Structure 1
């Protein structure tokens, strides 16, 4: 009986377990098929949402049929010359029949072995990629990769190739993948297989401005694409995976290894034999590298890059106002600029002519200095400590340092790498030079190079006629016209004089003491004599200027500078009188032009009209003018600065064949770190700065390092060329317009009695000045702003 009950209990338990199992299976199947159908439904829903643009705009039929329409916008000068273009790329389109068979075989073997047979999506490869997480090869076809190039991995707003369109977020990237699959299927309907391969190879960016297979063939092997051999074809195809990591120029060993992977796949697919593979796999990659000239290099490059920011801002405002969006690199805009192509050419030639000789002088002066080209200022650490700090700071700003840091190297390891000699390209005035040099020494070499900036504008219209932001855009991508702020030295003094004339009714003949001036901790050396303002400005007397700002107050001078268009920060202390403020050439030339424009400030402009490809006006400029002072005060300033040229620190111009009516001012900062000259002709105001990337680099000799030697000759060369070109209608006979109501003829005592021409090395013409009591300022703001001159001026034509 007990046995029977036990059996019944066992049977009941088995039935319960079976029923539980059935329930589990039922629930599992319901859950599984629910998840399955939910997944399928979600997948199709994602497809539908993607098609209708819920996850980003989808390309329309026109985009798909015309995937690479980029019409360059033209920059048209005031004299009707197309001086530059905003073009997306330098690309040589190639036809399918020009592609060598090995290149096509290599492409299909590496990227898409079933390319001839699918309709844009290789289902087998796709499921393999999903199942193995991409560890056994990707699932993208050539057509999908083309879709990615055209509509995901697209160019940035500047027209430069960019990977930024490809999301690094896996969730977001999945939506992009879906878009690419949809686009790929559409592309397959619109294009033949041959056309898809051609589009893909024409579109890919192989770096070094090698956009497309034809340009890449020229850049890396100096060949037409049809002449590529098997090894070269495999090398370029390997770059499709990653043009940086597999680049034969920067990573030759890795490029060879990946090239052999391509060759191995070609062997597996039957395109080459085992024997052929074994015979060539150990051959090194032989480059014949011929770089394409960079877009933006050369003629007016700095102007173009400054213009780009201005135009993009205008287009953004236009889009906000109208909803119409324009692309600078795609929509074929016509940008009419104020620049004159002839004046631009003369400006660039003048800078090159002078700096070639000036650079030789600097190399010669620095030849035997251990820590050249750097010097210390009062209060700095010792020169060896300063040298290492400046060099290390410069190293850390380089792309090479950032790349090594991203690889996990310590600063000590990076420094070791930087001191290893490699083949580098350096700037010289004779052209770029390939040399064996460590990156550390390359940084130091380029610190020697003298920089310059120049801007010329019409005082009455505000039209900028020449803009030279630097000496070579490729090597020095920093604009010294509007981007760089440098101490202005004595070129700030006219702002102090203008304030005294306007606010205190001073005249050019007002007598002011030039005795040594002290206020608090600030002392400015002088020689004790009194002199009229015209003489004091002509000879750039510091003590006189210090007394003027003491009389007017520095806030009044700052207000004058603001009224004259200066927007940069200006220290609120008396040292600004001698040029302690860091300002731009753009600001200084605009300010000086006010004196030649009857006291009216006109904002300098580089654009006068922008049109679209259908000649519709997007933007048209009107001069922005405001009155700063009356015409009598402004003409008084012109008379004061004419004294600088006729008798004072700018007299060197008269030794360079220029007899025209000119007003101007020289400027030199502490230790000769910056040299300035701003010259005003009746129809053209031009400002020039010369210096170095680092303020710690400078001439030791003031006779060469002053503004009258470093900057003024460039102005003279520039104006010589302009005067010699009758089409510009600027002549040496042009005169400043004297107000009819002005009676004063400014016939003060003979100016020569107030200055020296013996080199100017008297105590009132140089000196180091302590900071004033108004607040502490660094050595960066201490200045020697005298411009010392000699009768036996240097002949810069030699």
Structure 2
């Protein structure tokens, strides 16, 4: 069919003529006004803009990017979110797609595209409204770089400045430099600037690894980030498809490539990296980074590779929050009021997890909600650990050889005269005939801890704690032996890690490596384990902590269903103000604390075994299942294993046919007890070893008198 021109009515001709005349007049005025103002402006925005010669060296401050242990960006530290990347490290589809869609004559013009201006004018005239702009990428870069300098100017003066500055930029920079500046500075939505940061935010990968459909999605975002970013639903998909059509038309991709990309569904991260260090882990990384790199200019754009295990972190956050909800529900049922109606000071918790062999911190939870309180209770809060400190007391005594695990401990009441009067710490383990040291730790006897610690000496206990990595002040009072000196959860997790690591200490840390932009040499952590305590002493304490879990106050670990390797200790302070469990499996040491910032009872009859230990067990099962991580514990050669009489602690000689209960026990070589066969020998020259040194002190303050953890209740029935 032959083409026929449209038939115009007189009224239609009159309207069309009016629109054309009006539009051409408007265009003429626009160009004339811009030209006049261009001539009137002697320099960029009257001197308000930076010197153009400095643009080549300019880099905006970029908040350091935090990577997890697998290398994935999980957060940006506070500041404008951007990540500067060389043009050569960007996907060619992304670079050429931006040129094709935003400024197809970019490599031909010199900052101002006169043909583009005329083309936009014609299209706008035809439509009767402004539907297409004529800004080049260079002009857009002017607006991005000097947004503050252009504020407050009229539309015409701003246009004149953009035209002049774009020409000046083209004289100072190469086309590739302009593209690099633009792609690293353009706003991409959700508080993110630059395509590299956007690639991590939306797709969890560097911009060099983008697939075609992903690159097209980011190109489409530039027009209106709030509407067209990859999380924008159907409008974002339609915009991506339009970009792919333009890229095909401009020869950036083939028809087959475009067709394949058009078939891809929109897949993106539901939530990008944390943009303001809004988590306990990221804020702790920020503090460590500032200590390692004090100069803010050097921190700009750094890539910080951390120890974060996202699975461990997610589990720790979920399990701790779950337990706090349970305690609130328990309080609602009348056991006690876990929040007491006080929303300003709610029940809190903390969990920190350290890899024993390396010191790498794999998870940090510093409270119930970072949004509510940024105070990191896992790394900063010092609280009384209660019985969780007792393994340190036992370790110091074993090292000093004032104790073996077979020694029978006198559990008769301890009374001490102090400046504040008579101190009589209570002990719920009621066995005045004495108890082997191993069982005394499993049942958490207060009396045993005091007698054992005083026999070793308070200086020895303090020195032992220091070598395990405890840096908080340790008071020189007997109450310290019951956990009255305040420590952080991180300190306890690290101290137990030394025991589980055979006596080797590695300082806990969050940052593995820091890469700086601009070719600066990277910083790499160098960890060197140091011998803190002898492996034989570490293994003796470890073996006793295994019994705490298998038959003592930590048995709730087993009741939760965790059957893997485990060693640890519960802790509870006076009136149930603090509940602890600190322990380790074959790989990780973790401390769990639950309590109020302003100490008060958590719930009625709160104990670390009933409140904190289940959280530890559930996290470990989340990570390694009920069977846990394989145990790496090996008995060192400096230990001997002998058969001992269970109640008296004497060695049962070979050939003795005693009917009395006996068990195998470990000893430092040279500390084994003498042999005695009680059913056949009458020995009057031997005294049953009761560790009961005289205890005298003065000036005792801050005394912890009750530890609800210690009990003689069958672990199957205890809480």
Short-chain TM bin: 0.5 to 0.7
Q: CA deviation at 1:794?
A: 9.1
Q: Partner of 1:254 in structure 2?
A: none
Give 1:447's match in structure 2, choosing from 345, 349, 352: 345
Could you tell which deviates more after superposition, 76-85 or 639-648?
76-85
Give 2:587's match in structure 1, choosing from 683, 704, 718: 683
User: Match of 1:447, SS?
Assistant: coil
Q: Partner of 1:628 in structure 2?
A: 532
Q: Relative contact order: is structure 1 or structure 2 higher (C-alpha 8 Å, sep ≥ 6)?
A: 2
Q: Does 1:659 align with 2:563?
A: yes
Distance 2:309 2:225 in 1: 40
Distance 2:297 2:163 in 1: 30
Q: CA deviation at 1:717?
A: 0.4
Q: CA deviation at 1:362?
A: 2.7
Q: Does 1:348 align with 2:317?
A: yes
Q: CA deviation at 1:294?
A: 7.6
Normalising by structure 1, we get a TM-score of 0.52
User: Match of 2:598, SS?
Assistant: coil
Q: Does 1:569 align with 2:512?
A: no
Contact 1:343 1:722 in 2 (8 A): yes
User: Match of 1:353, SS?
Assistant: helix
Q: Does 1:190 align with 2:93?
A: no
Q: Partner of 2:461 in structure 1?
A: 557
User: Match of 1:445, SS?
Assistant: coil
- Segments of structure 1 that go 5 or more residues without pairing to the other structure are 1-50, 52-57, 96-142, 151-184, 193-202, 212-223, 228-291, 320-324, 375-440, 755-770
Distance 1:786 1:547 in 2: 18
Distance 1:146 1:68 in 2: 16
User: Match of 2:75, SS?
Assistant: strand
Q: Partner of 1:701 in structure 2?
A: 604
Q: Does 1:85 align with 2:76?
A: yes
Contact 2:409 2:437 in 1 (8 A): yes
With over 3 angstroms needed to count, the CA separation of the structure-2 counterparts of 1:303 and 1:144, relative to structure 1, is: closer
With over 3 angstroms needed to count, the CA separation of the structure-2 counterparts of 1:59 and 1:71, relative to structure 1, is: same
Distance 1:466 1:666 in 2: 20
Q: CA deviation at 1:461?
A: 1.4
Structure 2 counterparts to residues 241-640 of structure 1, below 5 A = 295-296=275-276, 301-316=279-294, 326-328=297-299, 330-331=300-301, 333-365=302-334, 444-448=342-346, 450-520=347-417, 521-526=422-427, 527=430, 528-613=432-517, 616-640=520-544
Distance 1:335 1:621 in 2: 12
Structure with more helix by fraction: 1
Q: CA deviation at 1:65?
A: 7.6
Q: CA deviation at 1:149?
A: 9.8
Distance 1:563 1:692 in 2: 30
- Segments of structure 2 that go 5 or more residues without pairing to the other structure are 1-46, 83-101, 103-144, 153-159, 168-184, 194-223, 228-271, 650-660, 663-694
Contact 1:366 1:373 in 2 (8 A): no
Q: Deviations over 1:265-293 (max 9, x none)?
A: xxxxxxxxxxxxxxxxxxxxxxxxxxx99
With over 3 angstroms needed to count, the CA separation of the structure-2 counterparts of 1:312 and 1:732, relative to structure 1, is: closer
Structure 2 counterparts to residues 707-786 of structure 1, below 5 A = 707-724=608-625, 731-744=628-641, 749=646, 774-775=698-699, 777-778=701-702, 783-784=706-707, 786=709
Q: Deviations over 1:551-608 (max 9, x none)?
A: 1221221111111111111111000010101100111111111112221221112112
Distance 1:600 1:623 in 2: 12
Give the number of aligned pairs: 473
With over 3 angstroms needed to count, the CA separation of the structure-2 counterparts of 1:63 and 1:494, relative to structure 1, is: farther
Distance 1:343 1:682 in 2: 15
User: Match of 2:455, SS?
Assistant: helix
Contact 2:425 2:706 in 1 (8 A): no
Q: Deviations over 1:727-771 (max 9, x none)?
A: xxx9454241111342225766289x99xxxxxxxxxxxxxxxx9
Q: CA deviation at 1:484?
A: 0.7
Distance 1:642 1:226 in 2: 56
With over 3 angstroms needed to count, the CA separation of the structure-2 counterparts of 1:614 and 1:737, relative to structure 1, is: farther
Q: Partner of 1:105 in structure 2?
A: none
Contact 1:454 1:687 in 2 (8 A): yes
Q: CA deviation at 1:611?
A: 1.0
User: Match of 1:646, SS?
Assistant: helix
With over 3 angstroms needed to count, the CA separation of the structure-2 counterparts of 1:738 and 1:366, relative to structure 1, is: closer
